[in-house]
Amino acid sequence: MGREVPGSGIRVEEESRTRTVAPPLYRVLMHNDDYTTMEFVVEVLQTVFRKSATEANQIMLHIHHKGVGECGVFPYEIAETKVARVHSLARKTGYPLRCSLEEA
């Protein structure tokens, strides 16, 4: 887009600015149950959410004591995929481990 300076015959190009909007973020929550082992929860936190062993243990203990804990914050599609991966891994091993999403 441009405009012409009146009476000069000069055309001035205007720069348009486009703002990108970050996608909304979602928290992935893991819920405590009486059947899934603590070791499995730590393994899932390390493999699916790429947490260190120390951080995975801290999150697992938080989930164990509080009933629910945050595994990470992601754009919707990524969060949804991580929840599906957790459910798939849990079902393959026979655990009822449950994850959910909530808008951050």
- pLDDT, one tens digit per residue, over 43-94 is 999 999 999 999 999 999 999 999 999 999 999 999 999 999 999 999 999 9
Structure tokens at 48: 């699916």
Which of 74, 85, 68, 64 is closest to 31 using CA atoms?
A: 68
Average pLDDT across the chain, whole number: 92
Contact 57, 42 (CB under 8 A): yes
